[in-house]
Amino acid sequence: MVDEAVVSAVVTHVDPDEVVRFARRLVSTPSENPGGTEDAVAAVAVEILEDLGGTPQIVRGEEGRPSAVARFGDGDRPALAWNGHLDVVPAGDPSTWRHPPFGAEIVDGTLVGRGSADMKGGIASALGAVSAIRRSGVELAGRLDLHLAADEELAGLHGTKVLLERGLLDQDAAIVGEPTELNLALAERGGAWITATARGTAAHGSTPQLGVSAITSMARFLLRIEEVLPDIEHPLVGRPTVNAAMIQGGSAPNVVADRCVVEIDRRIIPGETEPGKVLEPFDRLADAIRTEHPETDLSFAIRLWTDAAETTGDPRIADLCRAAVREETGRAPLDTGMTGITDARFYLNDRSIPTIILGPGSLGVAHTANESVPIAQLVAAARVYARVFTRFLDGS
């Protein structure tokens, strides 16, 4: 069992100023997805990793998106992965921000900027923990693999999935540093992105009775869309949800629309594993509408399916994370679930690696204007990670 004096020594070497410096460098380097690339911020990450004594590599898939990976420690086992994503959602209209979205300004004890919470702040905390271990002189018996991934915001297909395909997900446990306010997320929703298409019959706008409006057909469906949800609930992530996210229809103001397309976000919960069963209620609702409006022509197709995931049992990594948070904050962290989709699913579903989602910041401010993270929470997360890394990799 690890000497607790060693753990304390590591924790005391966490440098708050350094953690903030790492976070500001990352946040001030744009990496919007879609609309940009992670190349510039991956270069920043590589520079920091090299300064910490690592030998980082850039891993690219067919799309060329860069993920930075680095290994610390001289042993092979035990092995722990820490995963964070380098990409951020677009900043949007700068006028909606009180401070520049990539200014990385410190305001009233918080770091403000796109990606500060989701999740470059968490990456900075993990880097700060690695730096503390290095400064303390503690040698890790196993290995710590940092996976700083591309493309998570658009399902991770060109980031962590590429790492999976290259055989880099082989650890004994993993932490994904998404914002959880230092609670433990043990499950996450998945998603089905569904394209709904309504077809009608075009006609002159002055004689709409001669046509069938696809927009009207779609409107009837959308007004009842909540009916597609099953009456089920997961103890950590709650109930499934559905959201009509994007709509397009019609060809001109004076033409009855013969086509209308809506992109639907249907969030799934652990236990929902069959795409066909998710689509069945959509078809049933369309049939019900058709009994009253026989001209209705609706069809549905899943264009992207992302599995939900959860950690089963109560693995050692969960115990270590709970203890570390309790020691740092004086409170017992909650066991929660992520309503969003994260890269944890690749470790859990594809490799059966016990995985905890644990990081600084609130999901409630992610993707919003004026996104921010408390500096105190960044530093607390670094100290939590330092404890977990040292204890997990002590070789016992």
DSSP letter string, 197-213: EEE-B--BTT-GGGSB-
- The pLDDT of residue 140 is 87
- The pLDDT of residue 369 is 95
Which alpha helices (DSSP H) does 250-362 contain, by range? 275-292, 316-329, 344-345, 351
The secondary structure of 93-146 as a DSSP string is: -GGG-SS-TTS-EEETTEEESTTIIIIIHHHHHHHHHHHHHHHHTPPPSSEEEE
Residue written as token pair 């401010």: 365
- The pLDDT of residue 41 is 98
Question: What phi-psi label fits residue 109: left (phi over 0), alpha (psi between -120 and 50 degrees) or beta?
Answer: left
- The pLDDT of residue 74 is 83
Q: What is the set of domains in the chain, with CATH numbers?
A: 4-188+308-392 (3.40.630.10), 190-306 (3.30.70.360)
CB atoms within 10 A of CB 5: 8
Average pLDDT over residues 78-94: 97
- The pLDDT of residue 184 is 98
Supply φ then ψ for residue 354, to 5 degrees. Answer: -55, 125
Supply φ then ψ for residue 242, to 5 degrees. Answer: -140, 140
Mean pLDDT of the chain, nearest integer = 96
pTM: 0.92
Average pLDDT over residues 116-125: 98
Q: Is residue 1 scored above 70 in pLDDT?
A: no
Per-residue b or e along 289-306, where b marks 16 or more CB atoms closer than 10 Å to that residue's CB: beeeeeebbbebebeebb
Residues near 110 by beta carbon (within 8 Å), at least 6 away in sequence: 116, 372, 373, 374, 375
